[in-house]
C-alpha cells in the first residue's frame, strides 16, 4: 500500500481530464446547435436535406 497515493492521484487526474472533455464536448454541441438553428432560420439548408 505504499503507492496508494500515486494510484489515487492518477485516477483523480484521469477523472478530471475526462470530465473536462465531456463538458467541453457538451458546450461545443450546444454552440454548434445554436449556430445551425441560426443558419436554418436565415434559409440556409443542409445538403443532406436536398430533394432527390
Going by pLDDT thresholds of 50, 70 and 90, the confidence category of residue 51 is low
Q: Decide if pLDDT at 1 tops 90.
A: no
Q: Using one digit for the tens of pLDDT, what is the confidence trace for 9-46? A: 999 999 999 999 999 999 999 999 999 999 999 988 77
- Asked whether the CA dihedral 13, 14, 19, 20 is positive or negative, the reply is positive
Q: What is the pLDDT of residue 2?
A: 76
Q: What is the pLDDT of residue 45?
A: 79
Instruction: Name the grid cell of 47.
Output: 445538403
DSSP designation for 1? -
Amino acid at each position: 500500500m505504499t503507492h496508494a497515493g500515486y494510484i489515487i492521484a492518477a485516477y483523480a487526474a484521469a477523472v478530471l481530464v475526462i470530465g473536462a472533455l465531456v463538458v467541453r464536448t457538451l458546450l461545443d454541441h450546444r454552440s454548434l446547435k445554436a449556430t445551425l438553428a441560426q443558419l436554418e432560420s436565415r434559409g440556409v439548408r443542409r445538403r443532406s436535406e436536398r430533394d432527390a
